[in-house]
Amino acid sequence: MAQDYDREEFLSTIRSIDASRLYERDEVNYTGRTRDTKELYTEVIAKYLLENIDILKTIPAHKRKYKYFIKKHLEREIPPENTPRKEERLAIQLFHKYRYREDLSDFGRILDYQVPLKVNRPDFAGKIDLISVKNGKLRVLELKVENSPETMLRCALEAYTYSRVLWKEKFLKDYGLPPKTEIIPTPLVFKNKYQYTEYYSEDHRYLQELMKTLSIQPIFISGI
């Protein structure tokens, strides 16, 4: 559905949203332009966040008391091809393929998938699609299926938010990683698809600058 907002009207809505919930909102997936200034909605958001970067950098960790690592994930088979949960199926496929060695891909060895972040049932925090390790760095991978219509801004904000929400000390301990391991938020999307095109477009310079400022490093894959 087409959106039709003036810039300030749209910004007023963005300012009212809790930064830790922004990635969930429909607004980060708007693909049109503001009615008055003809700016891309995602660029209006990215510029606003750059000018108010602390609202993202101060997203607090959710101190989960349960283990992040779920042992039964190691035994789960790949769901059938006709499953409606395409993203989850792709995550499990990638896990099975890249769980043993880190030299086979740009993102390294996958440690786990569908990693829960909730502290308790009412907690809004979701699940990390995949986590991987390469060259001593941990990546929080936000995976999108090949034809996902979600914007790169949405992917980047979700990966970054999850990297903030996880309780770093416990998270690294649960996966047997050194306490000073660097955590990198990483959109994992397909080459030459929607998010890829957005990321490299000259029309998305604020998106590019926001991702650089937050050390969000996308990885583009051709397939599995």
Query: Which tens digits make up the pLDDT trace of 54-66?
Result: 999 999 999 998 9
Q: Does position 7 have pLDDT exceeding 90, yes or no?
A: yes
CB proximity list for 146: less than 8 A, separation 6 or greater: 190, 193
Output the six-digit token pair for 161: 């938010």
Counting every residue, how long is the chain? 224
Question: What is the C-alpha separation between 180 and 186, in angstroms, rounded?
Answer: 18
Task: Output the pTM of the full model.
Answer: 0.94
Q: What is the dihedral of CA 112, 213, 61, 115, to 10 degrees?
A: -10
Average pLDDT over every residue of 173-180: 96
Output the six-digit token pair for 153: 């801004």
- pLDDT at res. 1: 44
DSSP 220: E
Each residue of 105-160: pLDDT tens digit?
A: 999 999 999 999 988 766 677 899 999 999 999 999 999 999 999 999 999 999 99
Each residue of 66-81: pLDDT tens digit?
A: 999 988 888 888 888 7
Output the six-digit token pair for 132: 């991987």
Question: What is the C-alpha separation between 16 and 129, in angstroms, rounded?
Answer: 28
Cα angle for residues 60, 107, 29 (degrees, 5° grid): 55
Strand ranges across the sheet with 137-143: 109-116, 127-134, 137-143, 182-190, 219-221
Question: What is the C-alpha separation between 2 and 97, in angstroms, rounded?
Answer: 40
Each residue of 180-193: pLDDT tens digit?
A: 999 999 999 999 99
Question: What is the C-alpha separation between 126 and 154, in angstroms, rounded?
Answer: 14
* Side chain identity at residue 203, one-letter code: D
| Confidence bin at 2 (pLDDT 50/70/90) | low
* Helix, strand, coil content of the chain in percent (nearest 5): 40, 15, 40
- pLDDT at res. 210: 98
